[in-house]
A = this chain, B = another copy of it.
Amino acid sequence: MTIFKIKPRGHDMYSWASDLYPICRSITGQGVRKTLSYIKELIPDITIHEVPSGKKVFDWTVPEEWFIYDAWIEDDNGKKIVDFKNNNLHLVGYSIPIDATLSLEKLQNHLYSLPDQPNAIPYVTSYYKKDWGFCLSHNQRESLKNGNYKVHINSELKKGFLNYGEVYIKGRSKKEVFLSTYICHPSMANNELSGPVVTTALVQWLKASLDLNYSYRIVFIPETIGSITYLSKNYKKLKSNVIAGYDLAYSYMPSRDGNTMSDKAALHCLTHLAKDFKQYSWLDRGSDERQYCAPGIDMPIASIMRTKYGEYPEYHTSLDNMSFISPDGLNGALNIISHAIGCIENNLFPKALILGEPQLGKRGLYPDTSIKGSAKDTDIMMNILTYADGKRDLIDISNILGVPLWEVKKIVDLLQENKLISV
């Protein structure tokens, strides 16, 4: 695959995100299934897997499935002051059912808000401890008057399934590039939906590609328990086949090793395409790269993505909404990832076929008349030839030259056509 540049899909991706935004996702339940069904319309051959509650996965157990039908708080006057129907962030994820009347004082133990961001509803979950709660803006919380409040949560926790989607795209080699994105957050745009929609556009692009060197395996999974479940079933196969890959989550987060081909390709593309990107360290990790790079798993997976780089206050609040992402931003992310994949696909080890410097002139590859300064255009070609010792890959050579791999590749092709290098 010599294509790096991808067709802009910003408006499609933004429209998919808009459709998926209202769905109340969690690590299990209808929200995940609805999301996967929507993606299946865009990627018909995605396989949707289900793993039953109670299944042991490494150190964890697949939890009961969470069904949520309704949830609200009513004040003394019978007015619904907090309603899950208005914003699914109002409810603590995995809340158990309740139907009770409480004083404000007692209710406070089950309320969550952010004093520093008084307009934002925080995103809160309690997956593994049976509890319930409501989230609201700090402004609203401060305005609550003493009195009794009726709380109602119509939810169920019962045996069910954890679901995830998996796509496999066959390339020439059975060696795989692995991509992972998560689908377990309720209505949040940047830290959730930008992941699956960019991944979906990427998968469509990969499937349309006629000549992939590597095979591709892409998973759409709930964070943490999803990747642990997936790894517990597949890690031996993955460890032996995966040569590179990305968790489509962070700006750029190195793999634990820090110097895999995934890291090199991501850094190369970000350096040339997003010059002011923030570079994290492994100590900043926080998503599924924790699982993919865990000791004993050790996959060469780095993290890459997000239209916004760096930390942002809207993270994990209701302010991370559809106005926080944009078609242009999604395109930017898609473009960087497609280039990173292009770098991996084209990361050859060029080797000179001729001893000494080849005579480029007789092949029309060198200016005929030598005058001071005239040779500038052939510098890149000469530099590729001098480093074509079969030991350096194209990312390393491009980095030495300070030239993007997609420019270097064009000249590598020319040298290959002229039988000056093998790859």
Contact = CB atoms under 8 A, between A and B. Distances in A.
A232 interface: yes
Contact of A228 (B297, B357, B400): B357
Interface stretch (A17-25, A35-43, A121-129, A142-150): A121-129
A109 to B, nearest CB: 11
Interface string A288-324: 0011011111100000000000000001110000000
A48 interface: no
Interface string A229-251: 00110010000000000000000
Q: Most chain-B Cβ atoms within 10 A of its Cβ — which of A126, A352, A359?
A: A359
B282 A386 contact: yes
Contact of A92 (B133, B358, B369, B383): B369
A192 to B, nearest CB: 14
Interface residues of A, number: 61
Contacts of A385: 295
Nearest to A388: B295
A256 B386 contact: yes
What's the dominant secondary structure at chain A's contact region?
loop
A172 interface: no
Contacts of A123: 371-372
B124 A383 contact: no
A231 to B, nearest CB: 6
Given A128-B361, A357-B228, A371 B58 contact: no
A59 interface: yes
B351 A295 contact: yes
A59 B294 contact: no
A131 B370 CA distance: 12
Interface string A91-121: 0100000000000000000001010000000
A356 B298 CA distance: 10
A355 interface: yes
B295 A372 contact: no
A387 B316 CA distance: 27
Nearest to A225: B359
A126 B351 contact: no
A390 B296 CA distance: 10
A283 interface: yes
A126 B368 contact: yes
Given A355-B297, A383-B283, A386-B256, A129 B291 contact: no
B355 A296 contact: yes
A112 B374 CA distance: 12
A185 B388 CA distance: 30
A371 B112 contact: yes
B59 A356 contact: yes
A58 B126 CA distance: 71
A358 B290 CA distance: 11
A280 interface: no
A401 interface: yes
A114 B359 CA distance: 27
Closest 6 A-B residue pairs measured CB to CB?
Answer: A129-B368, A295-B389, A58-B356, A59-B358, A295-B352, A59-B354
Given A122-B372, A285-B386, A296-B352, 10 more contacts: A59-B359, A124-B369, A129-B368, A228-B356, A231-B355, A235-B355, A282-B386, A291-B357, A293-B386, A315-B372
